[in-house]
Structure 1
Amino acid sequence: MTAYQHHLIDGIWTAAQSAEITRIHDSASGTELGQVAHGTREEIHLAVRAAKNAFASWSTLPVSTRADYVRGIANQLEEQVEQLAQGVAAEVGMPLKLSRRIQVQMPILAWRATADLAVECLADVALGHSTLNHVPVGIVGAITPWNYPLHQITAKVAAALVAGCTVVLKPSELAPCTARALGEAAVAAGLPKGVLNIVMGDATTGQALVDHPDVALLSFTGSTAVGRRIAASAGQALKRVSLELGGKSACLATADAPAESVVRQVVGSCFLNSGQSCNSLTRLLVPIELYDTYRALLADAVTRLTLGDPLDSATRMGPLVSAAHRDRVRAMIVEGESQGLDLIAGGSQAQLPANGYFIAPTIFGRVPPRSTLAQQEVFGPVLSVITYETEQQAIDIANGTAYGLAAAVWAGTTDHALTLARQLRAGQVDVNGAPYNPAAPFGGFGDSGLGREGGKYGIEEFVEIRAIQMPVSSARETA
């Protein structure tokens, strides 16, 4: 059992002041894995003060030097790939093979990619007789979730560091192993003291970070409800925010779409990480006349999603992160069953492994577009199949939630799919099974949040633009 009882403050692992803890459990067995100490308001203050003291020197380093430190952190993390993959598999429930690639190796690549982009992205820009500088926004408060712990930390911290900001990170108390490893990697890479501070803890710890007057920007990934509260608090203090929130992403399949390919993508997306992904395709929109075809294909596809221990190589879908989260997802499934929806697979009575926080991959058919299952984020392995009669009706249904994080379109031709994709209000839209592009901006419309992460757009979230006007004669001489 691991005790996470230290915070990284000003380059030193400091013993926690509070006796308050969160117990974390193995998602497949329910056995206790460790305990996470809750950071206090005073510890948040100490971390912010360290970040403030480090900002002047860090922000004035050459961008290339900051990028080299970020590469050094990636190198240190790479030495821990297997240990981290097993830790995330146990904490979150993603099967080990996927955890190794998605939860660990991809974030390490993102650390390096962010470093490689930094110099070009942050270079001065000439605009007539003006020079545009990218100025670090200041101290960043980063609050990250448990579902993709290292990935979400990377999207915020790597970009903020190359931009010249200093950071106080409050990672999820349910998945702490990657945050601890990151702190150790930063120290081993020689990152200057105070540039990255990590305070473990719960929502109270996070609120102390939100409230701190010296934090210039709050970067949060999590629920829309919490994001609203953070935005309201930040608004009072005129702090900048970057919010990556919930989703209810739709996959729109036209009458001439290849049904087998559609089902392959939707099942892979909806049930990845046991449905614990904000951008999961959780609504499948199909022509009403093809409902029976899609029903049969989906029912067959789900039979290959073997539930089990994430460390077992035969497992294709693992458990959920906690008992509380499992119970919340199960309650939404029970509500769908009570409405008499067509249960294509899974459900609350499906056979499950004896221990752990498992939910069977569940598919409901003929789901009304305005129902709870079609409107609210489940954040579990639940797919809603919705029928439509015309493509315009399908577009209206796809855009008919408060969210706008991701979407997908399948049609017989790319041009047809692209025409439909341009009408969807979502931050990312996949056309005919297009692969993930880590350099593309990630973020959403509406209740899915504010701002973007990833690539140069993610770095730009952490800078202010300063325009320096030169005398016209001087500008001409410079040119």
Structure 2
Amino acid sequence: MTARRIELKHPGRFYIGGEWVEPAGTGTFDVLDCATEEVAATVARAESADMRRAVQAARAAFDQGPWPRMAPAERAPFLERLAERLEAMNDDFAQIWSIESGVVYKVAQPRIGLFISGAFRQYAAMAATYPFEVEQRSQTGHRGLRVQEPVGVTAVIIPWNGPAGLLAYKVAPALLAGCTVIVKSAPEAPCSAYLFAEICDEIGLPPGVVNILTADRAESEELVRDPGVDKITFTGSTAAGRRIASAAGERIARVTLELGGKSPAVVLDDYDIETAANTLGGFFFGYLTGQVCHSLTRIIVPRAKHDAMVEALSAVAQGIVLGDPFDAATTSGPLALARQRDTVERYVAQGLAEGARLATGGRRPSHLNRGFFFEPTVFGNVSNDMTIAREEIFGPVLGVIAVEDEAEAIRTANDTIFGLNGAVFTNDRDRALRVARQIRSGTVGHNGPRTDFSIGFGGFRQSGIGREGGPEGLAAFLESKTIVLDEPA
């Protein structure tokens, strides 16, 4: 594997108030190529003063600038121009995603456009269809209006596993709504946000509408607590989401939280085990090495089919080709971070200690001495009270859980603090609908993982608050106002 560099125009600056500005301090973050462990880029590290400056710029743009005072139809062309430039630079974003997060390039290249440019096009189109103003007759017979107005200055906090796509599904609806935003990118994967800032600068958004910087946790918490920020939208761990919700609650700031998951795949007795295993294992091991919040990691099967499922999933795992994300032969890349690999190792050890059976994987590959690689791993004999069935591992580890019948399968699926995703495998459509309605999660797919941001994405319980994508994703950045006029309806 050769050394790779990510080329950015202004890695040592922040995009604030429509300008590339010098940071307050001299700190930096090194961005590693997770396949080689070599530095691919170095970016500026924000301090408290930088955060305050970004909030002030966004606040001024919202309170005095033209953006929130434009009609949605006037803002939509900016979103279209963003989509055009994102499409033109699709390959740049795909390469950054592979270097920073480990997703296989041949997977990243076609997929990333569905998220980044697709999000901006979807929300640009909503300018003409979303009910921003609805006339209603009041109880007293007067003319009433129900209007939707921007929530205000929004802190956009994005994670390291899918930064470009998650940025798009937060920023696009926020911009259409008329909000101004401060994007706080993750230190481990900031480069797609920098590239997006270059595009914002190029298309001529009004100053302060989009502000972008990179910071660590302490400065991020300052951003969350800043009274100049009206809303926080965050994707990340449930633990971090709890802290953000607590801080926001102190001042009743609005929040959208897309958090962790421990999602079930319920394979019913009429469905072919090998087909289910190929669908589940192929997607899970091949897409971001399991570093996906909505991964289907608890495989719930009839007891009589437990061993067959473990064997079939193990065969899929053993057929995965670990290696350089840019190698055409590779089907799964590295984990994004050394600490994430360490975390996965600890969970594997805990699974063994609690009595689960390691069927395959469970260690670093011996043939790869560089990069944060970990073998695709399958556990059998997992009970739902084990740590590996309760906590989000965020790595290439699947557990197979045996149950007696459909009713126990549903109870087991719901026996979790999470509720982000799920799936039901059955040849009977009506049965799939019936079981899906009983699973407490934000998405349930039939015969596969079928999350869809264009419709809406988010979780029940501790998997989050609110929804991203679709009309609900736009509503999250709007406040509803009632106006009653002194005239008859």
Whether the aligned pair in 2 keeps the contact of 1:36 and 1:201 (CA below 8 Å) is no
1:63 aligns with 2:75: no
What's the counterpart of residue 321 of structure 1? 336
The alpha-carbon deviation at position 390 of structure 1 amounts to: 1.6
- Structure 1 stretches of 4+ with a deviation exceeding 4 A read none
**Amino acid of the structure 2 residue aligned with 1:106:** F
Q: Choose the corresponding residue for 2:395, options 373, 380, 386.
A: 380
What's the counterpart of residue 240 of structure 1? 254
Whether the aligned pair in 2 keeps the contact of 1:334 and 1:348 (CA below 8 Å) is no
| Structure-2 separation of matches of 1:421 and 1:378 | 24
**Amino acid of the structure 1 residue aligned with 2:88:** E
Q: How does 1:33-44 map to 2 (within 5 A)?
A: 33-44=40-51
**Amino acid of the structure 2 residue aligned with 1:248:** K
Q: Choose the corresponding residue for 1:180, options 194, 199, 208.
A: 194
Whether the aligned pair in 2 keeps the contact of 1:81 and 1:105 (CA below 8 Å) is no
Q: How does 1:20-39 map to 2 (within 5 A)?
A: 20-39=27-46
Q: How does 1:77-476 map to 2 (within 5 A)?
A: 77-129=86-138, 130-271=144-285, 272-348=287-363, 350-433=365-448, 435-471=450-486, 474-475=488-489
After the TM superposition, which of the residue ranges 156-165 and 205-214 deviates more from structure 2?
A: 205-214
Whether the aligned pair in 1 keeps the contact of 2:155 and 2:231 (CA below 8 Å) is yes
Instruction: Point out where structure 2 has 5 or more consecutive residues left out of the alignment.
Output: 139-143
| Structure-2 separation of matches of 1:349 and 1:462 | 43
Paired residue total:
474
| Structure-2 separation of matches of 1:126 and 1:410 | 45
TM score, norm. by length of structure 1:
0.96
**Amino acid of the structure 1 residue aligned with 2:186:** S
| Structure-1 separation of matches of 2:114 and 2:283 | 19
The alpha-carbon deviation at position 4 of structure 1 amounts to: 2.5
What's the counterpart of residue 50 of structure 1? 57
**Amino acid of the structure 1 residue aligned with 2:125:** D
| Structure-2 separation of matches of 1:39 and 1:434 | 37
Instruction: Spell out, residue by residue over 1:320-350, the C-alpha distance to the aligned partner (whole angstroms, 9 max, x if none).
Output: 1111111111111122123342212211265
CA RMSD of aligned residues (A): 1.5
| Structure-1 separation of matches of 2:331 and 2:80 | 33
Whether the aligned pair in 1 keeps the contact of 2:273 and 2:305 (CA below 8 Å) is no
| Structure-1 separation of matches of 2:453 and 2:354 | 39
**Amino acid of the structure 1 residue aligned with 2:29:** T
The alpha-carbon deviation at position 137 of structure 1 amounts to: 0.5
Q: Choose the corresponding residue for 1:14, options 4, 11, 21.
A: 21
What's the % identity of the aligned pairs?
37
| Structure-2 separation of matches of 1:204 and 1:36 | 18
| Structure-2 separation of matches of 1:80 and 1:170 | 21
After the TM superposition, which of the residue ranges 209-218 and 331-340 deviates more from structure 2?
A: 331-340
The alpha-carbon deviation at position 352 of structure 1 amounts to: 4.6
| Structure-2 separation of matches of 1:68 and 1:122 | 18
The alpha-carbon deviation at position 189 of structure 1 amounts to: 1.1
Any idea what SS the aligned residue of 1:121 has? coil
**Amino acid of the structure 1 residue aligned with 2:429:** T
The alpha-carbon deviation at position 104 of structure 1 amounts to: 4.2
The alpha-carbon deviation at position 285 of structure 1 amounts to: 0.1
Whether the aligned pair in 2 keeps the contact of 1:103 and 1:148 (CA below 8 Å) is no
**Amino acid of the structure 1 residue aligned with 2:341:** R
Whether the aligned pair in 2 keeps the contact of 1:170 and 1:205 (CA below 8 Å) is no
